[in-house]
Amino acid sequence: MRRYRYNLEHCEIMTPSTAPPPPPPSSSPSSADVESMLRVDHAGEYGAVRIYQAQLDILGDTLQADTLREMLGHEKEHLAFFDDILQKRGVQPTVLQPVWHVAGYALGAITAILGVPTAYACTVAVEEVIDEHYAEQERALGADEAELKKKIAQFRAEEIQHRDIALQKEAEKAPFYPVISQAIRAGSKLAIWLSSRI
Ligand SMILES: [Fe+2]
Ligand SMILES: [Fe+2]
């Protein structure tokens, strides 16, 4: 009886907001799965660089230039890390890279042409998807990939920061925000799915 009561009390205390995160797995997924993770992360950062570069090219003479330049700087650092680790581990980038080269720039350019709020609506949608994607990888990677896991955690924190800046810049005031947001989220998820496979 005492034990039962203890368990109930325990359950009450362990609400989602206070529960400690589950311990990390001791080992990571198979090397093929980790290679797939690296390939898709590289593709995602490549796409992010192209999006921000296009937005900066179009909005570079506006008050948004410094913000966009700073975010682009982060994305270039993220991409450099994955460029390096792909080379070190002998992992080929996705064959779709030329597609992301064009599609990323086009997405950045079109949203920037539609105006500052739409440019930031794009940021929110893309960064939310990347946040979820990196969170999943952080959970999957084990102690044997501690360095990679640490980097992904750092990059994820910066992606969240980008999303928060975009929200402060009133991304949600973009015309047709829910439609644009859903479309970009769906496109980003499709890009992740494809890049992890080919
Ligand atoms: Fe990034
Ligand atoms: Fe980002």
Task: Report the CATH number at residue 62.
Answer: 1.20.1260
Whether 58 is in a domain gets the answer yes
Whether 21 is in a domain gets the answer no
Separation of alpha carbons 158 and 177, rounded Å: 23
Cα 86 to its chain centre, rounded Å, is 18
Mean pLDDT of 50-54: 97
pTM of the model: 0.83
Distance 28 CA to ligand 1 centre (A): 22
Supply the pLDDT for residue 170.
87
Whether 155 is in a domain gets the answer yes
Domain that holds residue 154: 32-195
Distance 6 CA to ligand 1 centre (A): 45
Distance 9 CA to ligand 2 centre (A): 41
Q: For residue 60, report the phi and psi dihedrals to the nearest 5 degrees.
A: -65, -20
Distance 164 CA to ligand 1 centre (A): 14
Whether 1 is in a domain gets the answer no
The residue with greater pLDDT, 196 or 137, is 137
Whether 161 is in a domain gets the answer yes
**Residue 181 CB neighbours (<10 A):** 19
Q: For residue 18, report the phi and psi dihedrals to the nearest 5 degrees.
A: -110, -10
Supply the pLDDT for residue 148.
95
Separation of alpha carbons 17 and 178, rounded Å: 28
